[in-house]
Structure 1
Amino acid sequence: MNTPHHVVLLAGPSGSGKSYLARRTGLPVLCLDDFYKDGDDPSLPRRDGLVDWDSPQSWDAEAAVATIARLARDGKAEVPVYAIGADRRVATRPFDVTGSPLFVAEGIFAAEIVEECRRRGVLAGAYALRRPRGATFLRRLARDLAEQRKAPRVLVRRGLALLRDEPAVLRRQAGLGAHPLGAGELLRRVADLLAGHLWRS
């Protein structure tokens, strides 16, 4: 598939700073968290009677890939707006990448679609942001409390579980094709990708 735009997929553990780093690239940024399934979707995975929002099955990979492919081909698409506190999509918004040969799609499940994006010919690169675990835990907890995503007790319990699982998360993402990198090296890789695309154009 010969497309005018290509995607850089940015994965990494929850709270590792993916959104912040994606913005630092200077590229258009698609938030993949907006492709979570609605809270009443019967296909949502459950653990101990509660929805397991940390499972890839809680996320609509097919819709995310279709939107990325549309952006790569047309340069613009309508994307969902997801309210995490309400556990559902509440609106859509226009997203435009026509001024850039690359755009970033970031989210904890970005690695799940590496192979499909590669198969469709829209992938420029795929990375997993690697940060010290303690810093990630504190950043995630501060963000979730500030945004009132869930009750504080739930957020602390989830944060400790994610802290424990973080090495396994990065191993899985690497196995799916997202190369683990620190922040500085990741920014350099994306800058090199952009320079190469601009040179070819």
Structure 2
Amino acid sequence: MPQAYVLLVAGPSGSGKSRLADRSGLPVLRLDDFYRAADDPGLPRLPGGQVDWDHPDSWHADRALEAVITLCRTGFTTVPDYDIATSSVVGARELRLGGEHIVVAEGIFVSEIVRGCRQAGVLLDAWCVHRPRLVTMVLRLLRDLREHRKSPLFLLRRGILLARREPAIVRRLVAAGCRPIRPRAAARQLRRYLVAQPANSRLPNQSPAE
């Protein structure tokens, strides 16, 4: 039996995934730290030549899945420190469970690892957090400008592109096995999991390996 089970939290960029994870009080695995570096020749491109950072191929799905499974089974794993502003890996750190029986893994590419987590027998639940498109777009732009993630013009263009893509992003996540859920409903469900989690026993709604 794994030491912990993973709650996968996905959703369009700016949907509130990170906020939900941060407020959980649980160990959090930032899946965005598994982005490829800017000089990686395998990066997907937009028609204008810019890197498409919202395409699954801009991300190391195999490494992210391995980190999730290792953390759940052994209680610790090593993850990269990724700097979004420079699109580069700037270091690494160790993440430990610290006695918890649930770990939150959040990122926009969760759809790529839902099946693998289920097959490994470590999946507690998988969510697609979303809210109205315009709200998501505004909150995402404000966040990215505040954190100086990229140039303002790039962020504006990306925001418009993501708003157009958002319905397809949600459909892909749901098709991969994520439950669509609003941020407030997700917070309530997370509190129920925290109350219910028993030590050394099977957690509620945990999906068995196929």
Taking structure 2 as the reference length, the TM-score comes to 0.91
How far the C-alpha of 1:36 sits from its partner, in A, is 0.2
Match of 2:151 in 1: 151
* Corresponding residue for residue 12 of structure 1: 11
- Per-residue CA distance 1:23-73 (angstroms, 9 max, x = gap): 222211111110001111111111222211110000001000111111001
Task: Tell me the SS of whatever aligns to 1:94.
Answer: strand
Q: CA deviation at 1:199?
A: 6.6
Residue 189 of structure 1: how far off its partner (Å): 2.3
Contact map agreement 2:21 2:28 (CA 8 A) in 1: yes
Q: Secondary structure at the match of 1:8?
A: strand
Q: Where does structure 1 lack aligned partners over 5 or more consecutive residues?
A: none
What does residue 177 of structure 1 align with? 177
1:103-114 equivalent positions in 2, closer than 5 A: 103-114=103-114
* Whole-angstrom distance in 2 between the partners of 1:141 and 1:155: 7
Q: CA deviation at 1:132?
A: 1.6
Contact 2:3-2:200 within 8 A present in 1 as well: no
The answer to whether the Cα contact below 8 Å between 1:10 and 1:110 also exists between their aligned partners in 2 is yes
Aligned residues: 200
Aligned position for 1:27: 26
- The share of aligned pairs that are identical, in percent, is 47
**Alpha carbons of structure 1 residues 75 and 164: separation in structure 2 relative to 1, 3 Å:** same
Structure 2 CA distance, aligned partners of 1:70 and 1:195? 25
1:164 alignment counterpart:
164
For 1:27-176, list aligned pairs within 5 A.
Answer: 27-48=26-47, 49-176=49-176
AA matched with 2:10 = A
Segments of 4+ in structure 1 off by > 6 A? none
Shift of 1:187: 2.0
Distance in 2 between residues matched to 1:96 and 1:81, nearest whole Å: 15
Distance 2:77 2:16 in 1: 25
8 Å CA contact retained: 2:101, 2:199? no
User: Are the counterparts in 2 of residues 7 and 68 from structure 1 also a CA contact under 8 Å?
Assistant: yes
Q: Distance in 2 between matches of 1:118 and 1:127?
A: 14
| 1:193 shift after superposition | 3.1
Residue 205 (structure 2) aligns with: none
Q: Matched residue of 1:108: which SS?
A: coil
Conserved 8 A contact 1:101-1:194: no
Q: What value does the CA root-mean-square deviation take over the aligned residues?
A: 1.3
SS in 1 for 2:73: helix
